[in-house]
């Protein structure tokens, strides 16, 4: 048989197979939408970048929140006020906290129209969260030495954050000195010494058990003599409820103020995201003691409590400078409000990620 006679038949078979695959795919997308699940889209290079990494870090928080919200949106005939109320509940469950959830929902409510569109709701949440989180650019060292005091309760990630921060400054061409003012634990200065060695920073340390104020004093003198650009002061973890320890921190700050005019240029409070709302209490007490100027929120990887970022920014008014998303040296990222809101409520403009296509959710209008 002439092979050219086969061509129309082959085309017909391929068309049938292609059509069937399309129908299956379409059905799957429809089913996932009906179930309130995002249909999977192939990852593009842009999605695999920084935004995608943050989305995967915040997936646990986001998933919990989305599941709850999509369940609400699937119920037909809900009055808008009921939907809005349940959005507030979902936000509270994601550790956003009551006052912040209320503030966010009231801003979102003003922008919603009836009939309520699912996409419009997600976009309003994303937009208002970004606005709530917005902050000016983080300060860059403008004087030498630029002194940063790093504080926080035990085990939140202060020393690790200092190591990561030092690596960033060094990569940007600055000379960095680490000061081991955590003289409380014998191993603390060893841990900082490992980081100093690893990233190529100078280190000033004393023997364990000494006076932290004396280490800071020596560290600052060394920084001036060696023309260091950035000094990062590691302090002992302390319970915010222990008054003598908080007084010791005030003393450390006074030493810094006395030795270098205008310093500390930044007082960072490190908070562990896994502690959720407790982070707010810690932040209040540290702020009273040492005038915290910026927050580093660590351990956002592996927690479903990422919503606490909104509470911290809204209730304390302190800007979030960096977020910790893992234990590795590169796992410290400057905080970007838009990117963060997108990771929580958006999906890079991908409607499916944001909870489905532009579906009109059948809800009743507000009562007149
Ligand atoms: N998963 C994860 N682990 C982190 C992060 N930041 C720090 N850690 C880990 O948290 C643990 C405690 O970190 P440290 O840097 O020693 O904490 P610290 O606040 O200095 O602790 P103390 O000096 O004892 O108060 C270590 O195992 C770190 O590797 C983060 O962003 N993600
Ligand atoms: Mg430490």
Ligand 1 atom closest to residue 326's alpha carbon, by position in its atom list: 32
- Quote the Cα angle for 93-98-99, to 5°: 145
Ligand 1 atom closest to residue 298's alpha carbon, by position in its atom list: 31
Ligand 2 centre from 353 Cα, in Å?
A: 38
Beta carbon of 78 within 6 Å of any ligand 1 atom: no
What does the alpha-carbon distance between residue 339 and residue 144 come to, in Å, rounded to a whole number? 32
Ligand closest to the CA atom of residue 156: 1
Beta carbon of 157 within 6 Å of any ligand 1 atom: yes
3-state helix, strand, coil in the chain (%, to 5): 50, 15, 35
Beta carbon of 324 within 6 Å of any ligand 1 atom: yes
Ligand closest to the CA atom of residue 195: 1
Using DSSP's 3-state secondary structure scheme, residue 331 falls into: coil
Say if CB 279 and CB 271 are below 8 A apart.
yes
Ligand 1 atom closest to residue 323's alpha carbon, by position in its atom list: 31
Ligand 2 centre from 98 Cα, in Å?
A: 32
Ligand 1 centre from 243 Cα, in Å?
A: 23
Backbone angles phi, psi at 312, to 5 degrees: -60, -50
Ligand closest to the CA atom of residue 328: 1
Beta carbon of 197 within 6 Å of any ligand 1 atom: no
Using DSSP's 3-state secondary structure scheme, residue 236 falls into: coil
Query: Where is 167: in which H helix or E strand?
Result: helix 158-171
> Which pLDDT does position 353 carry in this prediction?
39
> Which pLDDT does position 6 carry in this prediction?
55
**Which class for 140: exposed (0-12), middle (13-18), buried (19 or more C-beta within 10 A)?**
exposed
Ligand 1 atom closest to residue 191's alpha carbon, by position in its atom list: 16
> Which pLDDT does position 266 carry in this prediction?
97
> Which pLDDT does position 12 carry in this prediction?
54
pTM above 0.85, yes or no: no
Say if CB 134 and CB 337 are below 8 A apart.
yes
Residue given tokens 């969260």 in the structure block: 129
What does the alpha-carbon distance between residue 175 and residue 177 come to, in Å, rounded to a whole number? 7
Residue given tokens 């809900």 in the structure block: 78
> Which pLDDT does position 25 carry in this prediction?
42
> Which pLDDT does position 82 carry in this prediction?
84
- Grouped pLDDT means (10 residues each) for the chain, 368 residues: 53 50 44 37 45 83 82 76 87 89 92 78 91 88 96 95 97 97 90 96 92 96 97 89 83 96 96 90 90 94 86 92 94 92 67 37 40
3-state secondary structure 55-111: HHHCHHHHHHHHHHHHHHHHCCCEEHHHHHHHHHHHHHHCCCCHHHHHHHHHHHHHH
Ligand 2 centre from 341 Cα, in Å?
A: 30
Using DSSP's 3-state secondary structure scheme, residue 28 falls into: helix
Beta carbon of 156 within 6 Å of any ligand 1 atom: yes
Q: Taking Cα atoms as reference points, which of 252, 115, 245 lies closest to residue 181?
A: 252
Ligand 1 atom closest to residue 302's alpha carbon, by position in its atom list: 1
Ligand 1 centre from 116 Cα, in Å?
A: 44
> Which pLDDT does position 204 carry in this prediction?
97
Give the count of beta carbons closer than 10 Å to the beta carbon of residue 324.
24
Distance of CA 151 to the CA centre of its chain: 18
């Amino acid at each position: 048989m002439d092979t050219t006679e086969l061509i129309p038949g082959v085309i017909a078979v391929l068309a049938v197979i292609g059509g069937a695959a399309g129908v299956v795919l379409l059905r799957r997308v429809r089913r996932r939408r009906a179930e309130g699940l995002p249909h999977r889209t192939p990852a593009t290079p842009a999605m695999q970048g920084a935004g995608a990494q943050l989305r995967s870090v915040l997936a646990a928080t986001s998933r919990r929140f989305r599941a709850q919200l999509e369940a609400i949106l699937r119920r037909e005939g809900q009055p808008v006020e009921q939907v809005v109320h349940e959005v507030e509940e979902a936000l509270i469950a994601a550790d956003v906290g009551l006052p912040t959830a209320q503030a966010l929902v009231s801003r979102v409510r003003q922008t919603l129209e009836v009939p309520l569109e699912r996409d419009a709701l997600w976009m309003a949440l994303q937009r208002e969260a970004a606005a709530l989180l917005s902050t000016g650019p983080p300060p860059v060292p403008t004087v030498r030495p630029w002194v940063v005091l790093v504080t926080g309760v035990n085990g939140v990630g202060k020393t690790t954050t200092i190591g990561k921060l030092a690596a960033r400054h060094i990569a940007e061409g600055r000379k960095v000195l680490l000061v081991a003012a955590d003289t409380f634990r014998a191993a603390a200065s060893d841990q900082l010494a490992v980081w100093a060695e690893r990233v190529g920073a100078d280190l000033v340390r004393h023997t364990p058990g000494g006076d932290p104020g004396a280490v800071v004093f020596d560290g600052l003198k060394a920084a001036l003599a060696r023309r260091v650009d950035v000094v990062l002061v590691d302090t002992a973890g302390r319970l915010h409820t222990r008054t003598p320890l908080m007084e010791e921190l005030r003393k450390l700050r006074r030493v810094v103020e006395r030795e270098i005019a205008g310093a500390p240029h930044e007082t960072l409070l490190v908070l562990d995201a896994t502690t959720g709302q407790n982070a707010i209490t810690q932040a209040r007490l540290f702020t009273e003691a040492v005038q915290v100027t910026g927050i580093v929120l660590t351990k956002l990887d592996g927690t479903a409590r990422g919503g606490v970022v909104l509470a911290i920014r809204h209730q304390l008014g302190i800007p979030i400078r960096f977020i910790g998303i893992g234990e590795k040296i590169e796992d410290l990222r400057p905080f970007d409000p838009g990117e963060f809101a997108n990771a929580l409520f958006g999906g890079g403009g991908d409607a499916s990620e944001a909870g489905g296509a532009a579906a009109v959710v059948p809800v009743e209008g507000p009562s007149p």
